[in-house]
Structure 1
Amino acid sequence: MNERILIVDADGSLRESLSNYLRKHKFTVDTAATFQEAIDAYASYIHDFVIVEIELPDGDGLEFVSKIKSLNPLVKTIVTTSYPSVNSALKALKLKVDDYLVKPFVYDEVLKSCKEITRKPDLKEIEKTPSTSEEEFFSIIGESVEIKLLLEKIKKIANTPTNVLLLGETGTGKELFARVIHEASYRKKKTFVAINCASLPENLLESELFGFVKGAFTGATFDKKGLLEIADGGTVFLDEIGDMPLGLQAKLLRVIEDKEIRPLGSVTTKKVDIRFISATNKDLLEEVREGKFREDLFFRLNVITLHIPPLRERGKDIEILAYHFMRKFAIKMEKDIRKIDPQTIQLLLKYPWPGNIRELQNVIEQAVVFADSDTIKPEHLPEHVRHMKVTSETKKDIPLISIEEFTKEFILKYQSIYTEQELADMLGITRKALWEKRKKLGLPRPSDKT
């Protein structure tokens, strides 16, 4: 990227860390701490856009936006604030600000916003040009090792035609991961169709999938395209695939093998090119053994398996997601909520989250509703979260190990799969720091072993 960004913020550590982060992603960055410094900096260079804090020590960041837009109406702007309010949001909207971010924010959010704002579609781009850039993955919120490992796998398989099976508990976000795979592939300009195999009876599900021609059955007074035909060239996400009726499984198998469909009542077939991403929270091999799922279909769908980790295994992501949902619902409900009490965070970290991300979102939404200050406190959480007792089952789900033990297990588990640099990146440390940890833990690199 060649875009030049001006960061205006009174917080020196934030200015430095955010500017360094954006420079790593190929932006040219200038900084200013005050309103006047920002005016001087903007006059010195032509900036593509500005990230400005509203609460500057010597002026209003929105006034600065107004000034620079009077000079260049096309300049792109992001405003940040520690004190979100309906008034400032409306002012930002009137000024046609491109994004409004509430502190504290994750830098990935800023980068995602920057890339979305500066993205310029190239009409000459070949439709099937591989697309595995970072921007496709920012809809996945989290910094845990488990999520980093999963995203690394997704980057490797996204731009292939291979079918994928997503395994994970209810509420872990399987459809979101399916959409990420689609958006990072050469199929992203085509349709993504999500189908819940458990939501409809067999006859209705079949007509939805395959479509029908006029006269196919009573009430079929017109031709209707099925979802598989609509998704031609794109991706079909089959959620709850373990609940698909056996009769329909046989027809789906023929679609995968022959790459063609036949609408209900039709005597002709139509060729289709579809990537299938399936998801389930069931043990499909057990379903196969019990005769509830076709073995041949299982192996057609299960070319690559990705395990979506439950929220309780994602550590610090719980806090990151909690803040994300807090900001989302505070803005939606027009409430001035800026932080989560440390005791509240501890309760969230201890709770096992059987409903995973979906449950966390619901809990934070309720907390925002009941919060009567700028902070979400323990009493704003649902009773079952506040008074959760750590059972033996919970302890199994949340193993209590030291950082050193975790690091050692992590290195031993993944050193045969990833390079030293990749391992360091996933741990969030430098390669030198990884070498020092190996030395301290008595873990020579595989190539160093005798």
Structure 2
Amino acid sequence: MTAQHELRFDLAPGGKLGGCFAVPGDKSISHRAVMLGAIADGESRISGFLEGADSLATLKALRQLGVEIEGPDQGCLQVQGVGLHGLRPSRTPLDMGNSGTSMRLLTGLLSGQYFASELIGDASLTRRPMRRVTDPLIQMGARIATSPEGTAPLHIQPAVGLTGIRYAMPVASAQVKSSLLLAGLYASGETSVIEPAPTRDHTERMLGALGCAVDQDGACIRVRGGQRLTGTAIAVPGDISSAAFFLVGASIAANSELTLTGVGVNPTRTGVIDILKAMGADITLVDARDQGGEPVADLRVRSAELKGIRIPSDLVPLAIDEFPAIFVAAACAQGETLLRGAEELRVKESDRIQTMADGLRVLGIEAEALPDGLRIQGGALQGGSVDSHGDHRVAMAFAMAALRASAPIEVRDCANVNTSFPGFASLAASAGLGIVERYG
């Protein structure tokens, strides 16, 4: 996109947040619901599906693979499952757009098929590392070619036959774990994945809901090949990653109080709540309940004085997608916040460590980028023009920073916000954020 047609956020300084509303459906669960519904026997009815660009990339790919899908219509889908071996070859490459989840999980799913597939993506996605997925899949017998740098496009050849392996992941990653479990459905024997730290378990929960036995013994998750799935109703809760921006915004803006309804509070995803509470945030879970195997609650948040902390290492993988928002909270806290052990942030949609450090410094905050994290000294946010580098979570995080800024903030390159949070600007404006979208 040229600079003349680049989507930007213009943000007025100050203000407060309030109201009671829902955030869009969980992106991670939306991906998995469509994928698993596609290879199940019978129909799956999905509600709360996130109609963002990333989830829609998964939807389009499965349609190309011969799956009949009705919708989405206000978040509702009907997926006519084709069974474990019913996918058909696509006549054209499968374009994952900006979605790393789509590419990594579908790579596992397609590794066990009888036909060849090619997975491509946009400029950002084709810079992201894929060998963390392809290497263990190749150990299982998959035939996958990457670029010389280990990135997309990915060329997957027909499988001669996959064999289950026992794989200890060197880095905690739900995407790698999920990719191997999906490939394990097509492998002979048992596939075991050992996590160095807990990661989101949506794949395991959903496999169980569709009738597939998944065993867990401590850090080891196991699945037997050949198990068939049965279509079912899947209700997608609100995305805690999207809620995180409002949790931070209401925490840092004086006199704010809001309630976010129906948010997924899976314990493998609530690191952002634990971190913000450790910083002094006033967040309460109300009406905790179960929704299709996933824990859900309404989140009530009020403004609070935050303090800097050293972020506990065990919470890092449980909040890995929420750190851009957390960094803004740290910028508004008293004292220093230190994050270590988060190298994964350097290979997201942008290098989130460097991108956030650069943007915070533009806004007058002392921020030191570390190889595996960030050191932030809380202070007074100024105005300025920040480059999100096309990273949706960075753009939304800096939008919330305006609530504490002394002058207007411009956030550049915001089009990709639509990948995870369509309608973000209008919802944020209705809650009290002074935000205007502009092309220029």
Query: TM-score, with normalisation over the residues of structure 2?
Result: 0.26
**Structure (1 or 2) with the greater helix fraction:** 1
**Structure (1 or 2) with the greater strand fraction:** 2
